[in-house]
């Protein structure tokens, strides 16, 4: 299908950072292995991976006790997804992967036309990143089994509700990892 | 409660435009009278109203058969919410009320610190506008009975799901019109 | 020369609006005829023209007595450059043609890769528009005899100084109208 | 004078990075000691310093042989202006200090209303940063003897021409370091 051809797909992995508590045995940890597979498939296909992690500054005047403070280890990509020396690392200043940073400029100058989005949380960073990508006119693919609502005790439909919006409103493709790999992560020159 | 004090609230009404089919008897039309009340309360309280409507250009290369084309009547605020000569009219180029326009600049230069959001659709423009407002650090209030999913045959939880995200993720206040009026639309100097 | 091939050039005409006093006999009026020729050449070549004019709002809290207020005739393109029904009209909220509007989005979705810039003033709107275009990675061409410092009593080098920056720092091409026409405004499909 | 009161000034130092060749004996090196004094005065006055340095990525598709590549030492603030642990470090993706990064968001959330700009080059990064700051409605002060055109063999008026534009068009204040210190870098709580 012509529509499935992407000139230049890019994989965007959201908030898989130490500060968010991705520890063996912790809530949702089983997704990490899946995201590892996504990264490896991207490398094999010669597709660029971009990690986008949160970053706050002490001057931000955020309420409460904000984490993910600049200069701390919390901002680092978790060890399971290392090394990152093949990846682009971008920091987002608030919720969306595009918030107040060079993600759009970087995708645009690369010639990217389609983003493959993974990470957490589906109803937060993944949702806003999908919306901003769509509004900057990148095609949006979300990897269904590489995203989750990374907060315990959420109502059961939280993830599905966000994915429904991505499908219905943003016309995004929400498909499982195997399908993402066979459709978009095929070897490129 | 100190938290409820806003230095300068602004009412933002999204996509109540002729091109979206707000006709007597049509799906969802009963919300129009509520939004009229919201506008009147804002006027009475000397609070600025901003209408943000969609605008597409023929050069946008959008798929399908896009409506809301620049220069057409479809972009006009519906007659029930006229006159608009006290209001600011801003066009958004895509989904969010902030997309590729001067909404943030206009709010910022006014000194606005809180936005009261109404209009359609809750899981589309209202959701993205709330997220962008929050990420530009305006406090977000959504008028629960002045917003809807303005598409027929959506699953029943569509509106509630979007409002849950606004409440939980964006820490927005989602309250009914009467409460918005008594809390934020009190007469100002 | 390969470098001179543009996939999609667009002509941007800055601040040729009634509010800026382009009246027969007024300072700098002789440039209007040149800009008319530029527009006609663009039409003949099937190249899109975009007028970008200033727009202020009463809520902007600008110092002094700002002109170019929304809703006034001052914002209209001058009669000599009418009709504008083939053109795109975009309002800029401050100095640069890109300031707080959809110019970048519009160029980007069109597929534009090169902007041909004309209008006033060379050391103000033309300079900032050139810089923003360059930083959004459009190639920049400024029409040397279709731009001026539209303020009387400026030092003689004001225009040349700004053009030097465009040439040296922004790597822009600054060439006269005849050359712009023969190089970039050739008939397209 | 009321106009000189700033609620929250911030010092922005542009492109004083290793990759730009600020070595003892090199062209323009004598300015480094002045910028050191500016930083010390800011510290003494409890005013935040922000270093903004260039950063390119290998995927940027820039022409020629771009320097200032991410992950290299070239991006570091020069030793003479160390330590930077009291400072905010922000990377700009192209020319302006505001280009595709969180400078505006950071200033805005701090409550900054006035920026004191120093560094290189006056007719490039300093000029675009001043313009963007002005268009985001920060008051602009440029430290006359802490800025230079950091390229040899430029025409003599290059710096003055850029400062003239900052003064005339952007209504910026261009004053020497001593005056900046006595006017804006007075001890704050």
Contact D157 C157 (CB under 8 A): yes
pLDDT in tens, C155-179: 889 999 999 999 999 999 999 999 9
Residue D149 · residue D120 · CB < 8 Å: yes
pLDDT in tens, D52-100: 999 999 999 999 999 999 999 999 999 999 999 999 999 999 999 999 9
Interchain CB contact of B86 with C (< 8 Å) = no
Interchain CB contact of B109 with D (< 8 Å) = yes
What does the longest C-alpha to C-alpha distance in chain C come to?
49
Interchain CB contact of C134 with A (< 8 Å) = no
pLDDT in tens, D2-41: 456 889 999 999 999 999 999 999 999 999 999 999 999 9
Residue owning tokens 């009463």? C58
How many percent of chain B have pLDDT more than 70?
97
C126-147 b/e (C-beta count within 10 Å ≥ 16 → b): bbbbbbbbbbbebbbbbbbbbb
Q: Which tokens hold the place of A174?
A: 């929400």
Q: Which residues of chain A have pLDDT under 50?
A: 1-2
| Closest Cβ opposite residue C169 in set D99, D124, D155 | D124
A182/B94 Cα distance (integer angstroms): 31
Q: Which residues of chain B have pLDDT under 50?
A: 1-2
Contact C61 B104 (CB under 8 A): no
At residue A103, the pLDDT reads: 98
Interchain CB contact of B16 with A (< 8 Å) = no
At residue D156, the pLDDT reads: 84
- Separation in Å, CA of B117 to nearest CA in chain C: 19
pLDDT in tens, D122-166: 999 999 999 999 999 999 999 999 999 999 999 889 999 999 999
CA nearest C180: which of C50, C4, C8?
A: C4
Strands (DSSP E) along chain A, which ranges? 9-14, 49-54, 88-92, 114-120, 139-148, 173-175
Residues in B closer than 8 angstroms to A135, CB to CB, are: 94-96, 99-100, 128
Sorted by sequence, the CB contacts under 8 Å of residue C64 that are 6+ apart come out as none
At residue A98, the pLDDT reads: 98
Residues in D closer than 8 angstroms to C164, CB to CB, are: 155, 158, 161
Contact B165 A164 (CB under 8 A): no
Residue C76 · residue C18 · CB < 8 Å: yes
At residue D2, the pLDDT reads: 42
Interchain CB contact of D104 with A (< 8 Å) = yes
Q: Which tokens hold the place of C169?
A: 């720092």
B49 strand-pairing partners: B11
At residue A187, the pLDDT reads: 79
Residue D146 · residue D189 · CB < 8 Å: no
CA nearest D143: which of D113, D181, D117?
A: D117
Residue D146 · residue D123 · CB < 8 Å: no
At residue C156, the pLDDT reads: 84
pLDDT in tens, C131-152: 999 999 999 999 999 999 999 9
Residues in D closer than 8 angstroms to A93, CB to CB, are: 102, 105-106
At residue D189, the pLDDT reads: 58
Q: Where are the alpha helices (DSSP H) in A45-186?
A: 103-110, 125-135, 158-168, 177-184
Report the neighbours of B using a cutoff of 3 or more CB pairs below 8 angstroms: A, C, D
| Closest Cβ opposite residue D109 in set B108, B109, B137 | B137
Q: What are phi and psi of D162, to 5 degrees?
A: -70, -40
Contact A131 B161 (CB under 8 A): no
Q: Is C157 exposed, middle or buried (0-12, 13-18, 19+ CB in 10 A)?
A: middle
D100/A104 Cα distance (integer angstroms): 8
At residue B1, the pLDDT reads: 37
Interchain CB contact of D173 with C (< 8 Å) = no
Number of CB pairs, chain C paired with chain D, less than 8 A apart: 60
- Separation in Å, CA of C111 to nearest CA in chain A: 12
| Closest Cβ opposite residue C95 in set D95, D99, D131 | D131
| ipTM tops 0.85 | yes
Neighbours of B44 (CB within 10 A): 12
pLDDT in tens, C3-27: 568 899 999 999 999 999 999 999 9
Residues in A closer than 8 angstroms to D104, CB to CB, are: 100
CA nearest C107: which of C140, C84, C81?
A: C140
Residue B125 · residue B90 · CB < 8 Å: no
* Average pLDDT estimate for C50-70: 96
Q: What is the DSSP code string of chain D?
A: -GGG--SSEEEEEE--BGGG---TTSTTTTHHHHHHHHHHHHHHTT--EEEEEE-B-GGG--SS----BTTSGGGSBPGGG---TTSEEEEESSSSTTTTSSHHHHHHHHT--EEEEEEE-TTTHHHHHHHHHHHTT-EEEEEEEEEE--STT--TTHHHHHHHHHHHTS--EEE-HHHHHHHH-----
How many percent of chain D have pLDDT more than 70?
97
**Half-sphere exposure of residue B28: CA atoms within 13 angstroms, side-chain side:** 20
Residues in C closer than 8 angstroms to A137, CB to CB, are: 108-109
- Please, what is the average pLDDT of chain C? 96
Residues in A closer than 8 angstroms to C108, CB to CB, are: 108, 137
Angle, alpha carbons B172-B176-B180 (nearest 5°) = 75
Contact B131 A95 (CB under 8 A): yes
At residue C187, the pLDDT reads: 79
Number of CB pairs, chain B paired with chain D, less than 8 A apart: 5
Helix (H) or strand (E) run with residue A44 in it = helix A31-44
Residues in D closer than 8 angstroms to C128, CB to CB, are: 131, 135
Cα→Cα distances C107→A29, B67, B142, C101, D80, Å: 43, 20, 33, 12, 43
B15: left (phi over 0), alpha (psi -120 to 50) or beta: left
Residues in D closer than 8 angstroms to C94, CB to CB, are: 134-135
| Closest Cβ opposite residue A109 in set C108, C109, C137 | C137
Cα→Cα distances D52→A105, D94, D95, Å: 18, 11, 11
Q: How far is CA D51 from the centre of its chain?
A: 7
Residues in C closer than 8 angstroms to B59, CB to CB, are: 48, 88, 106, 109-110
Give the residue from B15, B104, B164 with the most A CB atoms within 10 Å of its CB, the best one to mutate: B164
B94/B162 Cα distance (integer angstroms): 19
At residue B6, the pLDDT reads: 87
C39/B62 Cα distance (integer angstroms): 27
């Amino acid at each position: 299908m012509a529509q499935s051809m992407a000139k230049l797909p890019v994989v965007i992995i959201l908030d898989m950072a130490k500060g968010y508590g991705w520890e063996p045995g912790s809530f949702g940890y089983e997704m990490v292995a899946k995201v590892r597979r996504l990264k490896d498939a991207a490398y094999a296909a010669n597709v660029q991976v971009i990690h986008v992690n949160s970053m706050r500054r002490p001057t931000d005047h955020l309420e409460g006790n904000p984490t993910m403070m600049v200069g701390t280890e919390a901002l680092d990509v978790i060890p399971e997804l290392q090394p990152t020396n093949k990846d682009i690392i971008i920091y987002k200043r608030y919720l969306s992967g595009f918030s107040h940073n060079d993600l759009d400029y970087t995708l645009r100058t690369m010639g990217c036309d389609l983003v493959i989005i993974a990470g957490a949380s589906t109803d937060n960073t993944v949702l806003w990143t999908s919306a901003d990508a769509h509004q900057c006119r990148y095609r949006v693919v979300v990897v269904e089994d590489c995203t989750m609502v990374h907060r315990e005790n959420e109502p059961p439909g939280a993830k599905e509700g966000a994915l429904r919006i991505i499908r219905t409103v943003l016309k995004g493709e929400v498909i499982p990892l195997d399908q993402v790999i066979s459709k978009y992560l095929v070897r490129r020159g």
